[in-house]
A and B are shown apart, each in its own frame.
Chain A
Amino acid sequence: MNYLSELENKTIYIIREAYSRFRNISLLWSIGKDSTAMLWIARKAFFGKIPFPVTHIDTNYKFKEIYEFRDKYAKIWGLNLLISRNSTAIESGMGPKTNKFECCNALKTIALKDTIKQYNLKALLLAIRRDEHGIRAKERYFSPRDLNFKWDYQNQPAELWNLYKAGLNDEDHLRVHPMLHWREIDIWRYIEREKIPVTPLYFAKNNLRYRSIGCETCCMPVKSNANTIKKIVRELETTKTAERSGRAQDKEDTYTMQKLRSLGYM
């Protein structure tokens, strides 16, 4: 079995494991490359039809390309799409200009909290990867969150081999991370191999491309002339720039990511 197939098989195993433990789960789809690759693999795990809802956290500040891509492929892939929005905060004018930390917390974390409660979700599949951020490298595949959504990162349960956590005790839900072992370059090689559609934002226009995509207001493109998947792979083989260098919420303070994540951010 080659390397990409190994990664894919491990991801299928984890997705099926989460579903076998709790039928009531959802896959978080940001429409970015990682969660789109995860969605692709989830379709394989369930032979084409994902038997649970796919959630998009809509902050109202996403790129128009993201909304177009979402609506097009939700239809083609027959997804049961949930749109998670904190309308109260959006209407009261919450935005990145107020405060980036507050904005991420209100429009993403709190929106997600409400969705979990409303649909009584027991586990969420998230496409975070260990190589994107040092804090994410500390994650488990099955990571419990308590009722306040706290990630008790100083006291994480042990996780041995592929014998992932079986159930919930006092926890609210589990975060399951089926893509944790993938690197950025693996994702692009896999997208190339499988011909997975991705949003055009990743491809260079006027020597600029997005390497990591979130809200339009808080994402900066990086210098690049990679306008094909092949060129992106080649660029990643030699780059010295960090993947999330264009993401504002990582930068505000050294530990913003840790603080956001401990409160339940992705």
Chain B
Amino acid sequence: MDRETLSIVITGHVDHGKSTLIGRLLLETGSLPKEKLVEIKKISDKLGKETEIAYLIDQFKEERIKDMTIDTTQIFFKTRKRDYIIIDCPGHLELIKNMITGATLAETAILIIDCTEGIMEQTRRHAYIISMIGIRNVIVVINKMDLVNYNQKKFIEIETAINAFLKTLDMEPCFILPISAKDGVNITKKCSKLNWYNGPSFLKALDMLKPSREKANRSLRLPVQDVYDIEKKRVLVGKILSGSLVKGKEILVLPGFAKAKIADIKIFGKKPKKVSNRENIGVTLDRDIDVKRGFVIVDKESANRLEDRFQCNIFWMSKKPLEINKPFSIRCATQEVNCIAEKIERKINSSTLEIVYDNPDKVGLNESAKVSFKTERPIVIEEFSRLKELGRFVIEGDSTLLGAGIIT
């Protein structure tokens, strides 16, 4: 009875209809409690508006008065095929941090485009962020087709343009389809108004997606999350990111290169013989070595995975810019280390994707860049495409998030 789940983030420019699409999906799949419908009708009446299905998602009073999504939210619904977790995001540039927060929780992305406006600034920026954080499954929906009388020419025009743009990001959408979220056209079923369209409805397209699963990597990576003293033993806890562990296995603890054997594997209420990736476990070692949070347990063949210089793509989210040779810290899994940018190789505008030439020593708010980082001490990293959790990091200063990075 274990059903598959798929998490989907809905992205796109301001007012292109993200929240309305989700509201419509919930309505047509019968996923709503009756009282919810009565409630939004009442609220819409009070605000003197037509019944606004976006209010199912936009729950803050401020969101309803201003008719805009402020923060990311999640909604659940199911089809016969699987369970869905839908993540809604704000479309405003000022709220990009909330959009990224939502997007990092998703496996799949929907990019919505208003056919009367076409590709806009946040359409491009959201597409860029989706590609940067490694979401490969993308569906483009071209919305508000009712406003152009379901004109096929208009659809093809936008389809061609978005395909060309996504190609520059090395992205190929799984589907591009016309809809009207407001009128419920081509959401769960086709409609005679779209007799020129032969593809699947939006819901059918969702069900046709194949979840992208990371290839299992065999080398052991276990970043130490904490050390507990339990019954006079030091128990190292953490989440296995790749590989597996058995009792007696010889391991290395990086960055110190200390060798040890696994004395015992601990999961409460069980006596596991073997544990593998994604499990949160505890281990004890056969000898007393210095281990603390941020150290990484690896198999003895992986001694060469420590780096103190690497190249990465970063997205900057702070008003205070990144500057060359000015210290900040990064966190990658449980590792935390001081760091500087030695070189900014290339800086781009995250919407137009044009190279930015001014202030070559700084990366400013909402800019993206390819940079060379140097850390104060070596850490265990991987290319993002090989192992996500050791290939991504956050950049911080004074406990505040400044940006995000992907190791290339």
Q: Report Cα–Cα, A242/B394, bound state, in Å.
A: 37
Q: Which chain A residues lie closer than 8 Å to B57 at the CB level? A: 134
Which residue of the partner chain B has the closest CB to A47? B268
Number of A residues contacting the other chain (C-beta, 8 Å)?
Answer: 50
Q: Contacts of B331 on A, CB cut-off 8 Å?
A: 163, 166
B52 is an interface residue with CB less than 8 A from chain A: no
Chain B: number of interface residues, binned into ranges: 35 or more
In the complex the two chains form, is B225's CB within 8 Å of A161's CB? no
- B72-A138 in contact (CB<8A): yes
Interface on chain B toward A: helix, strand, loop, or mixed SS?
mixed
Q: Is the CB of A160 within 8 A of B76?
A: no
Query: Are A44 and B73 closer than 8 Å at their CB atoms?
Result: no
Tell me the smallest distance from the CB of B110 to a CB of chain A, in Å.
Answer: 18
B33 touching A241, Cβ below 8 Å: yes
Q: Is A265 an interface residue (CB 8 A)?
A: no
> Does chain B have a CB within 8 A of A63?
no
Known: A9-B279, A158-B401, A242-B35. Is A16-B71 also a contact (CB below 8 A)? no
> Within 8 Å of chain B (Cβ to Cβ): is A197?
no
B228 and A161 within 8 A (CB):
no
Nearest Cβ on chain A to B317's Cβ, whole angstroms: 6
A166-B336 contact given A3-B2, A3-B3, A158-B100, CB 8 Å threshold: yes
| Complex CA–CA separation, A24 to B187 (angstroms) | 49
Interface string of B233-273 (1 = CB under 8 A from A): 00101010000000000000000000000000011110000
Q: Does B400 contact A (CB under 8 A)?
A: yes
Nearest chain B residue, comparing its CB with the CB of A7: B5
Q: When the two chains form their complex, are residues B268 and A44 in contact, meaning their CB atoms are under 8 A apart?
A: yes
The 0/1 profile, CB within 8 Å of B marked 1, for residues 227-243 of chain A is 00000000000011110
User: Which residues of chain B are within 8 angstroms of A116 by Cβ–Cβ distance?
Assistant: none
Contact of B97 among A1, A19, A158 (CB under 8 A): A158
Contact, CB under 8 Å: B61 / A255: yes
Report if A160-B35 is in contact (Cβ < 8 Å); known contacts: A9-B278, A137-B73: no
Our pick among B76, B389, B401 for the contact of A157 (Cβ within 8 Å) is B401
Interface flags for B273-292 (1: CB within 8 Å of A; 0: not) read 00000111010000000000
Give residues of chain A (78-123) contacting chain B, Cβ–Cβ below 8 Å: none
Q: Are B59 and A156 in contact (CB under 8 A)?
A: no
| Residues in B lying within 8 Å of A, measured CB to CB | 2-3, 5, 30, 32-36, 39, 42-43, 56-57, 59-62, 70-76, 97-98, 100-101, 104-105, 225-226, 228, 230, 235, 237, 239, 266-269, 278-280, 282, 293, 317, 331, 334, 336, 389, 392-394, 396, 398-401, 404
